[in-house]
């Protein structure tokens, strides 16, 4: 574990790029990793974990005991305060039967650094459990990250899993996000991705949901704001494989700039006559009526755009 | 009362079709002024020209003067900063913005802003503060929030485009009272409507038909003229009945 000086240095750099100060002041972290070093580790009640430092990052195994219900989120941070060639994180999370927990995970890449971040995560949400995974990314404006992250989730009978990937501060960099879920009987999977790309950022998001159990549900929602010369692609695939399952893909992408390229690819496959999967996709500039409404209240066009975009990314 | 807004001989043609054919209108400071007329009369186009929305920053000819300042060519923000605002017939929806945030944005230059009071004046309670201004609000709720946001801003002139649409009949009295409160707090109201019973809450009214002003005066007289003239006219000329 690190000394207070190391923690203070990391805190300063992460707060500079927008991480809430309160996280450090109130010692909110259950796990804080800088590159491949564990800086803070503090157990959460009902949560067993194993964290191993590797040459390029960390490997974690987390087991939430059945029936565990936590009011406060389990708070984790995987970041880099300095440039390093590559950071690799591998994780496995099992949420035991009937548990109800929320993980708040911060990705913090300090101002000016460059790195490749690779992440693989396996999630298993057991019967009647409820698990929310909020993955919040903070990058500096002069940071460049190549992020490659894959999540594979199994959602058991009557279980609920919500995964939110949010990058609202700084540059996105070159990003590939793949989220896959197998959903059992009456299970629910909700995937949300909210990102803003600037300059020559490249964003690729792929959500794949297999609704395998009767009456299972899946929602895949993306909100991508593409500015300057950003290239962004969203692929949403939902497979309705079981009786009375329901899926929906909701993709809305806003472009601001002449050299932006944005693509949305919804794939809807239904293998059962009682299953229903729908999709809606919209790509375009900021809605004119929204803009004019805020301008009629005295906001400038730039202020109005900012309000609308921040609302969409919330 | 001194004129706050003067529309002088305003003409506008869109896609070769004359929409406004020399409109003259004076809205006095401190009054509720109703612009009444059938669908297609040019009322909403006139409202758009006053606010500068829908790419209508200036007419083909004529002047729009607000407090002795020519507003032709000014953008929406500049007009709002002069003290003009507009509430849309069908207001925009905003993802991720709460009612409280929306009202605070609208009233950011109002030192006496009280968001709870603004909501109460439109018949909504404080539980709405945490609601989002998105599709989860019904049409009537969204409309009330829009009127609350005008109250929050406390402009010199509020252009209300069909403030009664989407509001159930039983709630019309609330809306009428809210518009009167707006006036009593120093906001002049220009209200666009095609219902003479709504126009009756105004201090003065103007009847528009086919891009022209037909009559300005007492709301009852103007309403009577509307009933006798425009209803017959719509029957004779169904092409006048349509979207604006």
| A292 has a chain B CB within 8 A of its CB | yes
Name which of A289, A299, A312 is nearest B77 (Cβ-Cβ).
Answer: A299
Domain ranges for chain A: 4-287
Task: Kindly tell me if the per-residue pLDDT of B241 is higher than 50.
Answer: no
Q: Is A294 on the interface with B (CB under 8 A)?
A: yes
Rounded-to-5 percentages of helix, strand, coil across chain A:
10, 55, 30
Q: Tens digit of pLDDT for each residue in A21-34?
A: 999 988 899 999 99
- Which of B92, B149, B153 lies closest to A289 in CB terms? B92
A chain contacts of residue B97, beta-carbon cutoff 8 Å: 307, 311
ipTM surpasses 0.90: yes
CA distance B132 to chain A (A): 10
Neighbours of A235 (CB within 10 A): 19
When scoring A290, A292, A305 by the number of chain B Cβ atoms within 10 A, the one with the most, hence best to mutate, is: A292
Q: How confident is the model at residue B164 (pLDDT cuts 50, 70, 90)?
A: confident
Q: B146: nearest CA in chain A? A: A293
Q: Does A297 touch chain B (CB under 8 A)?
A: yes
What local confidence, expressed as pLDDT, does residue B239 receive? 52
Print the SS3 string covering A56-119: CEEEEEEEECCCCECCCCEEEEEEECCCCCEEEEEEEEEECCCCEEEEEEEEEECCCCEEEEEE
Q: Which of A223, A292, A310 is the closest to B53 by Cβ?
A: A292
Contact A296 B80 (CB under 8 A): yes
8 Å CB contact between A312 and A254? yes
Considering only CB atoms, A293 lies closest to which of B75, B81, B91, namely B91
Within 8 A of A299 by CB-CB distance, chain B residues are 77, 80, 105
Instruction: List the end-to-end C-alpha distance of chain B, in Å, as a whole number.
Output: 31
- Per-residue confidence (pLDDT) for residue A1, from 0 to 100: 59
Mutate to test the interface with A, among B53, B66, B71, B76 (most CBs of A within 10 A): B76
Answer yes or no: do B80 and A287 touch at CB < 8 A.
Answer: no
Instruction: State yes or no: pLDDT of B118 exceeds 70.
Output: yes
Q: Give me the numbers of helices (H) and strands (E) for chain B, helices first please.
A: 9, 10
> What SS3 state is found at B102?
helix
- CA dihedral (A272, A273, A277, A280) in degrees, to 10, reads 140
* pLDDT on residue A257: 85
A286 part of contact set with chain B, CB < 8 Å: no
Which of A287, A297, A304, A313 to mutate to test binding with chain B, by most B CBs within 10 Å of its CB?
A297
Tens of pLDDT, residue by residue over A176-195, are 999 999 999 999 999 999 99
Nearest to B80 among A297, A311, A313 (CB): A297
The upper half-sphere exposure of residue A217, i.e. CA atoms within 13 Å in the direction of its Cβ, equals 9
Q: Indicate whether B237 pLDDT > 70.
A: no
Instruction: Indicate the average pLDDT of chain A.
Output: 94
Q: What is the DSSP letter of B227?
A: I
Residue with tokens 């995974």: A133
The pLDDT score that the predictor gives to residue B172 is 81
Q: Do B80 and A307 touch (CB under 8 A)?
A: no
| Span A29-49, average pLDDT | 95
Q: Pick B230 or B41 by higher pLDDT.
A: B41
Q: Taking CB atoms and an 8 Å limit, are B108 and A298 in contact across chains?
A: yes
Domain ranges, ordered by start, for chain B: 1-83+179-237, 85-154
- Inform me whether the C-beta atom of residue A306 falls under 8 Å from chain B C-beta atoms: no
- Per-residue pLDDT at B231: 66
- Residue B168 predicted with pLDDT over 90: no
Given a cut of 70, whether residue B110 has pLDDT beyond it is: yes
Q: Give residue B235's pLDDT band: very low, low, confident or very high (50, 70, 90).
A: low
Write b or e for each residue in A94-129: b if 16 or more Cβ atoms lie within 10 A of its Cβ, otherwise e: bbbbbbbbbbbbbbbbbeebebbbbbbbebbbbbbb
What pLDDT is recorded for position A2?
66
pLDDT above 50: residue B243? no
- Helix, strand, or coil (residue B199): helix
A86-99 pLDDT tens trace: 999 999 999 999 99
* Chain B touched by A290 (CB under 8 Å): yes
Q: Tell me, what's the pLDDT at B238?
A: 53
pLDDT above 70: residue B232: no
Question: At residue B102, does pLDDT exceed 90?
Answer: yes
- Per-residue pLDDT for A11 more than 60? yes
pLDDT tier for residue A170 given thresholds of 50, 70 and 90: confident
Cβ within 8 Å, pair B106-A297: yes
Q: Please give the share of chain A, as a percent, with pLDDT higher than 70.
A: 99
- pLDDT above 60: residue A56: yes
> For residues B151 and B87, what is the distance between their CA atoms, to the nearest angstrom?
11
Share of residues in chain B with pLDDT > 90 (%)? 80
Confidence of residue B242 (pLDDT cuts 50, 70, 90): very low
Contact A295 B77 (CB under 8 A): yes
Query: Of B85, B94, B96, which has the smallest distance from its Cβ to A296's Cβ?
Result: B85
Considering the domain B1-83+179-237 in this protein, what is its CATH number?
Answer: 3.40.50.300
What are A102-140's pLDDT values in tens digits?
Answer: 999 999 999 999 999 999 999 999 999 999 999 999 998
Per-residue pLDDT of A266-295, as tens digits, reads 999 999 999 999 999 888 889 999 999 999
Residues of A with Cβ-Cβ distance to B79 under 8 angstroms: 296
Distant-in-sequence, close-in-space partners of A289: CB < 8 Å, separation ≥ 6:
B88, B92
Average pLDDT over residues B93-110: 96
């Amino acid at each position: 574990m690190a000394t207070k000086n190391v923690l203070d240095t990391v805190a300063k750099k992460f707060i500079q790029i927008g991480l809430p100060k309160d996280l450090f002041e109130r010692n909110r972290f259950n796990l804080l990793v800088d590159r491949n070093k564990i800086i803070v580790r503090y157990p959460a009640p009902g949560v067993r974990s194993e964290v191993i430092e590797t040459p390029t990052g960390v490997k974690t195994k987390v087991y939430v005991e059945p029936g565990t219900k936590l009011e406060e989120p389990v708070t984790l941070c995987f970041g880099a305060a300095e440039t390093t060639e590559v950071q690799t994180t591998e994780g496995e999370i099992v949420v035991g039967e009937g548990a109800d927990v929320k993980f708040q995970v911060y990705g913090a890449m300090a101002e000016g650094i460059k790195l490749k971040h690779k992440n693989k995560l396996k999630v298993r949400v057991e019967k009647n459990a409820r698990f929310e995974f909020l993955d919040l990314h903070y990058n500096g404006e002069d940071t460049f990250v190549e992020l490659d992250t894959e999540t594979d989730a199994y959602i058991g009978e009557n279980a609920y899993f919500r995964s939110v990937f949010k990058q609202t501060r700084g540059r996105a960099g070159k990003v590939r996000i793949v989220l896959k879920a197998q959903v059992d009987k009456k299970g629910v999977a909700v995937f949300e991705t909210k990102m803003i790309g600037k300059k020559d950022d490249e964003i690729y998001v792929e959500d794949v949901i297999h609704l395998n159990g009767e009456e299972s549900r899946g929602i895949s929602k993306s909100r991508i704001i593409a500015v300057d010369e950003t290239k962004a692609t969203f692929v949403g695939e939902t497979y309705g494989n079981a009786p009375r399952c329901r899926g929906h893909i909701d993709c809305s992408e806003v472009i601001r700039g002449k050299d932006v390229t944005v693509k949305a690819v919804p794939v809807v496959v239904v293998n059962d006559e009682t299953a229903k999967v729908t999709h809606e996709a919209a790509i375009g500039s900021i809605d004119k009526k929204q803009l004019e409404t805020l301008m009629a209240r005295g906001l400038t066009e730039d202020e109005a755009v900012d309000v609308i975009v921040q609302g969409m990314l919330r | 009362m001194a004129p706050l807004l003067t529309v002088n001989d305003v003409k506008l043609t869109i896609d070769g079709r004359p929409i406004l054919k020399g409109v003259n209108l004076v809205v006095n400071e401190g009054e509720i002024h109703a612009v009444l007329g059938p669908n297609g009369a040019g009322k909403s186009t006139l409202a758009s020209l006053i606010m500068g929305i829908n790419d209508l920053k200036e007419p083909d000819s004529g002047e729009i003067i607000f407090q002795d300042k020519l507003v032709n060519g000014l953008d929406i923000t500049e007009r709002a900063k002069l003290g003009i605002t507009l509430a849309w017939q069908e207001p925009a929806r905003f993802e991720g913005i709460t009612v409280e945030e929306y009202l605070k944005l609208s009233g950011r230059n109002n030192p006496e802003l009280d968001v709870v009071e603004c909501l109460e004046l439109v018949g909504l309670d404080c539980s709405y503060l945490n609601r989002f201004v998105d599709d989860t609000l019904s049409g009537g709720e969204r409309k009330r929030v829009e009127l609350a946001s005008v109250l929050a801003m406390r402009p010199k002139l509020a252009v209300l485009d069909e403030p009664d649409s989407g509001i159930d009949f039983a709630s019309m009295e609330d809306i009428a009272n809210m518009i009167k409160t707006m006036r009593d707090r120093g906001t002049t109201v220009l209200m666009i409507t095609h219902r003479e019973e709504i126009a009756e809450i105004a201090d003065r009214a103007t009847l528009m038909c086919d891009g022209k002003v037909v009559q300005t005066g007492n709301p009852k007289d103007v309403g009577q003229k509307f009933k006798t003239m425009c209803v017959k006219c719509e029957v004779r000329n169904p092409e006048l009945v349509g979207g604006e």
